[in-house]
A and B are shown apart, each in its own frame.
Chain A
Amino acid sequence: MHHSQVSEHATTTGIDHRKMLIWVFLGSECMFFGSLLATYLIYYGQSLPGTPTPGEILDIPTTSVSTFVLLMSSLMMVLAYSSISRGNVRNFRIWILCTALLGSTFLGFQIFEFTEFAREGLTPKTNLFGTTFFTLTGFHGAHVTVGVIWLLSLFGYSFKGDLTKDGGVNVDLIALYWHFVDVVWIVIFTVVYLIGITNAVHNAHG
């Protein structure tokens, strides 16, 4: 037998190197999104008067749908991992394709949203809200895009290689990344959309 996979060697903790890597990486990503969010929150409410505000521009009904779509994509993802870890490659392919599809749908919503806002007068150059909003949600979208490419790559790879090896760890990695991106969206939806509008409306009345 040949030892061609360095990863088969025993590790001090018993944990696969790659799993540990992705978790440390996600810890790092918390700081990345944290800094973007900090900037957003610092500049919240500071845009010049007369320029578009969250209350005027953001649309809860549409964004609720896209949030739902992303949440469902996480379900698809976890079912994909569940399938591959049980050795069911056929089902894996279906679920991971669904994940990519829902992820792409989310991106479609975001592109629609961005173009709508631009039509209504909010661009990254317009004011602090525009600058911080597009940057924060844009980088989130970029992360979703990278995720979709990764998902589709694994879908393609499932036809030529063995993803069930090592308990499906390769799928576990994208799954963790994907759920993290979903979780970041939970924070953004709550802070930027729900609280952002409530606060603005509340202060307007108060």
Chain B
Amino acid sequence: MEHSPHSREADHPTPLTYVKIATILVIITAVEVGIFYIDALADVLIPIFIALSAVKFALVAMFYMHLKFDERLFSWLFVGGMLLATFVILALMTLFGSL
């Protein structure tokens, strides 16, 4: 990604970049749906799905939601909320034996 080290504000991605990101998102989704039907991969599908969707999540958050280029504070607020939510989900699942 082209960006200058100084002003984070100045580096707004161009519309073309956004289209590229969108293309990547579509490709990843297509891959997910594709491998879903491959029985041979059954054992590793779940980790793969988690990894792929994490990539999609990160792309949308960093580029569309502009976290990569904005104040760090926003990243902390969002990541903080997500971490807490993840902790509560995992803790509850453990307590209910779902994990």
Q: Taking chain B's interface residues, is the majority helix, strand, or loop, or is none over half, making it mixed?
A: helix
Cβ contact of B89, chosen from A28, A41, A68, A75, cutoff 8 A: A41
**Shortest beta-carbon distance from B20 to chain A in Å:** 10
User: Across the interface, do B12 and A183 meet the contact criterion of CB distance under 8 Å?
Assistant: no
Q: Taking chain A's interface residues, is the majority helix, strand, or loop, or is none over half, making it mixed?
A: helix
Chain A CB within 8 A of B98 CB: yes
Per-residue B-contact encoding for A153-183, CB less than 8 Å = 1, 0 else = 0000000000000000000000110011011
What is the count of residue pairs linking A and B with beta-carbon distances less than 8 angstroms? 134
Residues of A near B74 (CB, < 8 A) are 19-20, 23
Interface size on B, residues (CB 8 A): 44
Cβ contact of A77, chosen from B21, B49, B64, B73, cutoff 8 A: B64
Chain B CB within 8 A of A1 CB: no
User: Across the interface, do B88 and A35 meet the contact criterion of CB distance under 8 Å?
Assistant: yes
Cβ contact of B93, chosen from A13, A27, A38, A198, cutoff 8 A: A38
Residues of B near A149 (CB, < 8 A) are none
User: Across the interface, do A194 and B84 meet the contact criterion of CB distance under 8 Å?
Assistant: no
> If the complex has contacts A35-B88, A41-B93, are A78 and B18 also in contact, measured as CB distance less than 8 A?
yes
Per-residue B-contact encoding for A2-46, CB less than 8 Å = 1, 0 else = 000000000001010001100110111111011101100110110
- Roughly how many angstroms separate A78 CA and B69 CA in the complex, as a whole number? 14
Cβ contact of A33, chosen from B46, B85, B96, cutoff 8 A: B85
Residues of A within 8 A of B (CB): 13, 15, 19-20, 23-24, 26-31, 33-35, 37-38, 41-42, 44-45, 60-61, 64, 67-68, 71-72, 74-75, 77-79, 82, 85, 175-176, 179-180, 182-183, 186-187, 189-190, 194-195, 197-199, 201-202, 205
Q: What are 14 A-B interface contacts by the 8 Å CB criterion?
A: A26-B81, A27-B78, A30-B81, A34-B85, A37-B85, A42-B93, A44-B98, A60-B36, A68-B26, A79-B18, A183-B61, A190-B32, A195-B46, A202-B43
